[in-house]
């Protein structure tokens, strides 16, 4: 039984809900439960899109620093990959994933948001990577995903300074995709992903794999990956339905097969 992370499924949307008040600090148990929830969301045929949500007050204010004060180098060399892997599990969900951010998304909380495809941010939210103020650097994707998302210069500004950005700046630099009042953040996130619930699941999966996989390789390798995934979709029922519906001038009825 998960204590701090729940996967709730309704109307094709799986909500990965963080529930460790007051700040949803991401301790070791939360990280492992997050991995389990992400794996379950990825495997469930009922889940066609995912929202990562911490509630109306806070998304996640970062790692549980009390665990760091006595952690040795030897211990962290073992745990560091597990920490990063928990967020990788979210990033690898082969479905559209949006972070619904209220309050704070700092440190590990920001890294969790970066593992999602989009970020809907409350108008009073704060985001950042403050690890430098602890004599550390982001250790679960913050130096890598942030630089790929907003560019290396802006990423260095946030990581080197450890400063927080508000919703308006996050939107301006590409860290946020939509802004909404805190009470409407979840609904706005659901509105963003709801069109994909009835979409061609295998094509969406292939599109995400092509984009994410192509970012880590040279252009020629990325184009080869794209061609491979494109050709594979010709074995799907949804490709038949989509092309036939186009020719027949009607709305397609995708089944995810």
Catalytic positions = 111, 131
Contact status, residue 142 vs residue 111, Cβ threshold 8 Å: yes
CB atoms within 10 A of CB 79: 14
Report how many helices (DSSP H) and strands (DSSP E) the chain contains, helices first: 10, 9
3-class DSSP assignment, residue 178: strand
Task: Centre a 10 Å sphere on the Cβ of residue 159 and count the other Cβ atoms it contains.
Answer: 21
Place of tokens 């069109």: 195
Phi, psi of 149 (to 5 degrees): -80, -50
Task: Report the SS3 class of residue 98.
Answer: strand
CB-based contact 63:111 (threshold 8 Å): no
Q: Is the distance from CB of 164 to CB of 128 less than 8 angstroms?
A: yes
Exposure letters 25-57 (e unless 16+ CB within 10 A, then b): bbbeebbbbbbbbbebbbeeeebbbbbbbbbee
Q: Are strands 118-122 and 97-101 parallel, antiparallel or unpaired?
A: parallel
H or E stretch covering 73? helix 73-91
């Amino acid at each position: 039984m998960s204590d701090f992370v729940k996967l709730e499924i309704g109307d094709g949307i799986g909500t990965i809900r963080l529930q460790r008040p007051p700040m949803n600090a991401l301790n070791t148990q939360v990280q492992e439960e997050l991995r389990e929830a992400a794996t379950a969301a990825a495997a469930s045929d009922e889940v066609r899109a995912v929202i990562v949500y911490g509630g109306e007050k806070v998304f996640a204010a970062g790692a549980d620093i009390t665990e760091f004060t006595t952690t040795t180098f030897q211990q962290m060399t073992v745990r560091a990959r597990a920490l990063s892997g928990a967020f990788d599990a979210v990033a690898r969900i082969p479905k559209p994933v949006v972070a619904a951010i209220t309050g704070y998304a700092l440190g590990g909380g920001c890294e969790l948001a970066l593992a999602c495809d989009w970020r809907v941010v409350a108008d009073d939210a704060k985001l950042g990577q403050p690890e430098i103020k602890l004599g550390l650097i982001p250790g679960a994707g913050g130096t890598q995903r942030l630089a790929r998302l907003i560019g290396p210069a802006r990423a260095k500004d946030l990581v080197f300074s450890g400063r927080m950005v508000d919703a308006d700046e996050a939107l301006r630099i590409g860290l946020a995709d939509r802004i909404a009042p805190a009470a409407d953040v979840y609904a706005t996130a659901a509105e963003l992903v709801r069109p994909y619930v009835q979409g061609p699941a295998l094509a969406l999966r292939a599109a995400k794999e092509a984009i994410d996989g192509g970012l880590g390789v040279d252009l020629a390798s990325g184009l080869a990956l794209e061609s491979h995934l494109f050709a594979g979709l010709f074995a799907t029922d949804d490709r038949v339905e989509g092309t036939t519906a186009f020719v027949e001038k009607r709305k397609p009825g995708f089944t995810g097969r």
